Structure 1
């Protein structure tokens, strides 16, 4: 993997410069029907099979909360879908899938800055998640009220890899102080852009938080791993046993260790204490967006769910749809989740 990545360190900057020089030819801008507001949301989508209804639902939520949506599509959009998007967006940008999500974030943000579009708060979000799951979602209100320069939903910090701590990249909210600061424009202009997915994660998502912290900008977030542990510990014995069985399937590295507790009596002396110990050791559900629905939605009330089609996420959706928690999800998002894993 490192050998494949190595050439990018020589060609990334020249390719970025070439991309910037050709943007007037490769980027297509279409004015939408939504008015510009004090706050703006960059919404990155990649939907080559057609526009998803859940995306329109997200755009309407953003606009209702005072964010004018700038939709960035990393795949071509049909004329029919473009007309539908225009009704829900302030601006639609179509671009080649160069740099994946961070390449799209960069082009949209630089456009806003170069055009001197007035912005107070700037939200950056992508369509790797369904958001918001419920119509009464308050995440955007929380992000504004936090009074932080950079705000995310989940702060990924695990004890053994503290040096890689970062806000997860499916949701960022940049505050007024940072948006108007020269550090903000400089970061996006000089961003290490590649078309290597692993490097996009390592040089984009995993470094963005630290890059702004190093310059003195404040960060905030809704949850971290401590919240995940607390939520797990608040489950009943029966619920913990259900999570153990689930965790064995989504985290095979620890499945053998967990197996002895899946089949044991959860009310037996010592069973719960042992499971709580495994939680403290981060052997039970340390990955936030793959957490069991009882924890992610039932306890933490997360407003988003991952769309990933890997088996572990399919299992998570099956667990959700078999629970009463699904009744709390809005009809549009529930329909999207129910149909996601059906054969095409």
Structure 2
């Protein structure tokens, strides 16, 4: 950090200023405007430990400020603190309007600007340290150079859990011509690379987005040279079948970034368990830019807000086009078309008696959950498609089932009889073995024995 004299405080005090800082590490972002003349861009000084580190003009677009009625909203600023100081030491941070000398922002606590990862306070944390690596990075680079397609897989298995699921996923991604990089946060390192071209084992901090960021940092400039890059996690069981046609289907959407499913919970967003980035997006550096401002939340709620929902919002702001292979409202339409025969099925006493043999709550709980879904749709309540419309997804070629659906069934929509009637016919013996290994230690293990 170059040390300069303290920001001058000129007598232009008649022009009062207003502003806010939204983020302060590693990129300092916010807005500042003059209350009496909001159309005039102001200049601010960034003070670190009482010393002026740099000045910048506040003229970046801020639609939120414009929507609040404050001029055109061209009053934003963004300064990379890593370019000023990144010594992993605490510093006092202050933002000052050069014209009036007013302090716009002063950090209540000392701010640490890390050389690699941001840390924005008590609710946020650094991604875990990489403890070991498996595989040949040179071989991985050669495969990337030949195919220009990469998949970064974030995985975490509890102690004693089977590796079969992640190995199956890695094998399918590799067979679809992707160089596969696994970032593993399991309690113990695998004995090999889980079938991937390269594996990084790190501390279990920061959730999936931190694992993807770790993989992207390891990729470095290779990411921008790829024709296609996948970010995938292990939250699904599967795939059941080849992934190549499904990935091609995503690329055929003609957008910059695609997902398998989208959701309207907490605002429209691509669901992040399977994301595809095309060359047009990678060439613009959207992933590195996103992670430069990502706060790495400590809790799951923050990951959903800043990661899953926040990523789509970030892409929208950048003008990056997005779409889902299995679009939400198409799934809703398919669900509504199949509704009448399914309600009739509940009313059929013979069928209901058969279902109760496998699940005593099938008729009462199943019927209520189905009706509840209909009522939610009528009231336009956004639903999670992987929980509520899993049947429709399978019918349309979706090759996964969410683990959470099988383990917790938050929507009350999956029963033992569903596995026997709908899922089991889709599986070969290898798929069935995958189910057994994944859920042998869990209460829902009974589903694989349903006939």
Which bracket does the TM-score occupy, shorter chain normalised? 0.7 to 0.9
Work out the CA distance in 2 between the residues paired with 1:24 and 1:258: 44
The yes-or-no answer on 1:66 pairing with 2:177 is yes
Q: TM-score, normalising length from structure 1? A: 0.75
Computed over aligned residues only, the root mean square deviation of the Cα atoms, in angstroms, reads 3.7
Counterpart of 1:206 in structure 2 is: 309
Q: Gapped runs of 5+ residues in structure 2? A: 1-22, 28-110, 119-125, 348-360, 443-451
Find the partner of 2:212 among 105, 110, 114.
Answer: 105
Counterpart of 2:149 in structure 1 is: 39
Structure with more relative contact order (C-alpha pairs < 8 Å, separation 6 or more)? 1
Q: What does 1:247-258 align with in structure 2 at a 5 Å threshold?
A: 249=365, 258=371
8 Å CA contact 1:50, 1:77 repeated in 2: no
8 Å CA contact 2:134, 2:192 repeated in 1: no
Q: Which has the larger radius of gyration?
A: 2
1:224-260, CA deviations, whole angstroms, 9 ceiling, x for partnerless residues?
Answer: 3311221112216332455899797489xx75x938x
Counterpart of 1:303 in structure 2 is: 399
Find the partner of 2:255 among 148, 156, 159.
Answer: 148
Work out the CA distance in 2 between the residues paired with 1:192 and 1:243: 47
1:11-59, CA deviations, whole angstroms, 9 ceiling, x for partnerless residues?
Answer: 9986782664998964432225764331000011001334521221211
Higher strand share goes to which structure? 2
Find the partner of 2:421 among 320, 323, 338.
Answer: 323
The yes-or-no answer on 1:182 pairing with 2:291 is no
Counterpart of 1:3 in structure 2 is: none
Q: Gapped runs of 5+ residues in structure 1? A: 1-8, 260-274
In the alignment of these two chains, the number of paired residues is 309
The yes-or-no answer on 1:29 pairing with 2:127 is no
Work out the CA distance in 2 between the residues paired with 1:306 and 1:149: 25
Counterpart of 1:265 in structure 2 is: none
1:102-143, CA deviations, whole angstroms, 9 ceiling, x for partnerless residues?
Answer: 111111112212566741100011001123123476221112
Higher helix share goes to which structure? 1
Work out the CA distance in 1 between the residues paired with 2:366 and 2:305: 23
Q: What does 1:255-274 align with in structure 2 at a 5 Å threshold?
A: 258=371
Q: Greater shift after overlay, 141-150 or 204-213?
A: 141-150
